[in-house]
Amino acid sequence: MTISASPLDYGVQFVAMASDCEVRLAGVAAARAQTLAALAIAEVQRIETKYSRYRTDSVVSRINVASGNGASIGIDAETAQLLAFATQLFALSDGLFDATSGVLRQVWDFKTGRKPSPAQLKAVLPRIGWSHVQWNEQTARLMQPGMELDFGGFGKEYAADRAATLLAEEGVQHGLVNLGGDIRVIGPQADGSPWLMGIRDPREAREARKARAARPEGAVIASIPISAGALATSGDYERFFIADGERFCHILNPKTGWPAQHWQSISVIAPICVAAGAMATTAMLKGPDALAFLQGQDVSYLAIDADGQILRSD
């Protein structure tokens, strides 16, 4: 964790959920800013610990280990509310946002860059499906053996919302929480002007991005000013490989098992980060229907199509 500061404007950088994160606070004294940032970081870490699928002691791991064996795992109120949210996302996205689609990672290997065979896809698809998740206020279980629940599709966004809300309730009026590009704004900069959010150029070469790490604005293709609400971006550049001239990214359709290919990236501005992120991912998977879907949700967006053209809401 590092701290960079100009008078009354503090940025605290840290790594959580395998992402570069920052808590930015303006208009508060240094000592208070550090206390507040620690509070926000602790909340992010709490959510990471509780829901990480990489930790065997997380509630998600315990549910996954018991998949198909009939055992119900006890859950708390927060987990039940997240399952309720995932249930709604599944319905609202017509099945495109499915928190059980993580098993597709087992057949899509982005390191070696090999496409799965039709047989491999056919084998894994039955282990995906929100309808196989049985839950109530106290317990949850996965009905198919080998199924996996994964809150990765909204966990980071949820953590950004929780941390920012905590800070707002502590009286913070100027600042934001940025968890690897999932950003929840608490309030505008100390002088009242909006924060300028950079949208990353999806096609900038990885090497160039590394070289520009010290000057991150160099990788920016557009900027969006925001003084409240949230911004989340879903893009085909985080994890991908190119085979036979085609690009295959990690945003996978749970119905077909196949990656989204219509958009390079979609950024959504919404009141709450967890909603913005879910809409961005759903829009990526909606393909040509993405913009109509976003307009129907009454949110602002910035979409970059396969040719690199920027389309934005007015």
Task: State the residues that interact with other proteins by CB under 8 A.
Answer: 39, 77-78, 81-82, 84-85, 88-89, 92, 158, 161-162, 165-166, 168-173, 185, 194, 196, 198, 217, 220-229, 269-275, 278-279, 282, 296-300, 310, 312
Nearer to other proteins, 175 or 257 (CB): 175
- Least distance in Å: CB of 212 to other proteins? 13
Nearer to other proteins, 124 or 164 (CB): 164
Q: 63 or 304: whose CB is closer to other proteins?
A: 304
Q: Which is nearer to other proteins, 261 or 300 (CB)?
A: 300
CA distance 272 to 277: 9
Q: Count how many Cα atoms sit within 13 Å of the Cα of residue 283 in the half-sphere of its side chain.
A: 32
- Of the chain, the end-to-end C-alpha distance in Å amounts to 38
Q: Would you say 44 or 103 has its CB closer to other proteins?
A: 44
Cα 183–Cα 83–Cα 127 angle in degrees, nearest 5: 105
Measure the CA–CA gap between 81 and 309, rounded to whole angstroms. Answer: 38
Nearest approach in angstroms of CB 108 to other proteins is 26
CB of 173 to other proteins, least distance (A): 6
Cα-based distances in Å from 27 to 9, 30, 177: 6, 9, 15
Instruction: Annotate 127-162 with b (16+ C-beta within 10 A) or e (fewer).
Output: bbbbebbebeeeebbbebeebbbbbbbbbbbbbbbb
| Distance in Å, CB of 213 to other proteins, minimum | 17
CA-to-CA separations, 31 to 24, 122, 289, in angstroms, rounded: 14, 56, 49
- Complex with other proteins: residue 63 or 275, whichever CB lies closer: 275
For residue 26, which of 155, 186, 237 has the smallest C-alpha distance? 186
**Shortest Å distance, C-beta 38 to other proteins:** 12
Given CA atoms 83, 84, 87, 89 in this order, what sign does their dihedral have?
Answer: negative
Name the residue nearer to other proteins (CB basis): 156 or 162.
Answer: 162
Which two tokens mark 188?
């505008």
Q: Which helix (H) or strand (E) holds 197?
A: strand 195-200
Name which of 99 and 269 has its Cβ closer to other proteins. 269
Other Cβ atoms less than 10 A from the Cβ of 18: the count is 11
Tell me whether strands 229-235 and 240-243 are parallel, antiparallel or unpaired.
unpaired
Q: What is the smallest separation between the CB atom of 104 and other proteins, expressed in angstroms?
A: 22
